[in-house]
């Protein structure tokens, strides 16, 4: 990764450290459920892209 990519990753983590605790404190049950659902959707999309996408090595 280039230096710019590392700086972007650090900036994203710093924002997450500030935002995530407040969001979880505000509505703990709903936020955790929604985060789990979104994580499941993202994992499914990544798996589908990896399995059937143009860069897959599986024929």
pLDDT for residue 16 = 83
pLDDT for residue 57 = 58
pLDDT of 59 strictly over 70: no
* Phi, psi (deg, nearest 5) at residue 42: -65, -45
Q: What is the pLDDT of residues 4-56, one digit of tens each?
A: 778 888 888 888 888 877 776 777 778 778 888 888 999 998 888 877 877 65
pLDDT for residue 55 = 66
Q: Are 24 and 31 in contact (CB under 8 A)?
A: yes
How far apart are alpha carbons 47 and 49 in whole angstroms? Answer: 5
pLDDT for residue 26 = 73
How far apart are alpha carbons 47 and 59 in whole angstroms? Answer: 16
How far apart are alpha carbons 34 and 15 in whole angstroms? Answer: 19
How far apart are alpha carbons 48 and 59 in whole angstroms? Answer: 14
* Higher per-residue confidence, 58 vs 53: 53
């Amino acid at each position: 990764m280039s230096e710019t990519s590392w700086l972007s990753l650090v900036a994203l983590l710093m924002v997450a450290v500030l935002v995530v605790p407040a969001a979880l404190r505000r509505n703990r049950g709903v936020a955790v459920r929604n985060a789990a659902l979104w994580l499941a959707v993202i994992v499914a999309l990544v798996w589908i892209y990896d399995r059937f996408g143009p860069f897959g090595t599986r024929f």
